């Protein structure tokens, strides 16, 4: 078996787009391990930009979920229609805070290496407090 693109990720590899868990019981992993042991691993690369894009997507999804959980679309509409300035301001502040934190997290991952990216969990509440 020959691979064109192999990316090392947290629990295994992405080999030509297919997830291969690090398990000796997985036949694809056995083929991949043999391929790596034949020093062909030098011909593949770890796609840092792919992992960054994946984490950015996860950050954006988490931000959207946090906003939708506290202020679902119907609630946002009701608050805006009520014209209650205090509720509108509270909602806007919350949404802007989540957006700002999302932007900050995206900036932080720009400087991370592959191992740091693999260990970064965008859904962790520690990243959003």
Domain ranges of the chain: 6-43, 48-127
pTM exceeds 0.75 for this model:
no
Query: Is residue 6 within a helix (H) or strand (E), and if so which, with residue range?
Result: strand 6-9
Detail the DSSP E strand segments found in 16-122.
18-21
For residue 98, what pLDDT is reported?
97
pLDDT at 94 over 50: yes
Smallest CA-to-CA distance from 45 within 97, 106, 90, 4 is with 4
Q: What is the pLDDT of residue 39?
A: 56
Does position 40 have pLDDT exceeding 80, yes or no? no
d(CA 118, CA 9): 6
Long-range contacts of 30-37 (CB under 8 A, 24+ apart): 31/1, 32/1, 32/3, 32/6, 35/1, 35/2, 35/3, 36/6
Span 48-62, average pLDDT: 85
């Amino acid at each position: 078996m020959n691979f064109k693109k192999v990316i090392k990720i947290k629990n295994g590899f992405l080999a030509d787009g297919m997830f291969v868990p690090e398990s000796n019981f997985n036949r694809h992993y056995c083929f991949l391990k043999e391929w790596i042991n034949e020093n062909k691993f030098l011909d593949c690369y770890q796609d840092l930009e792919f992992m960054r894009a994946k984490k950015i997507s996860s950050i954006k999804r988490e931000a959207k979920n946090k906003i939708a959980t506290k202020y679902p679309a119907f609630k946002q509409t009701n608050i805006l229609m009520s014209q209650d300035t205090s509720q509108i301001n509270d909602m806007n502040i919350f949404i802007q805070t989540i957006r700002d934190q999302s932007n900050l997290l995206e900036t932080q991952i720009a400087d991370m290496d592959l191992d740091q990216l693999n260990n970064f969990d965008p859904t962790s509440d520690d990243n959003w407090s």
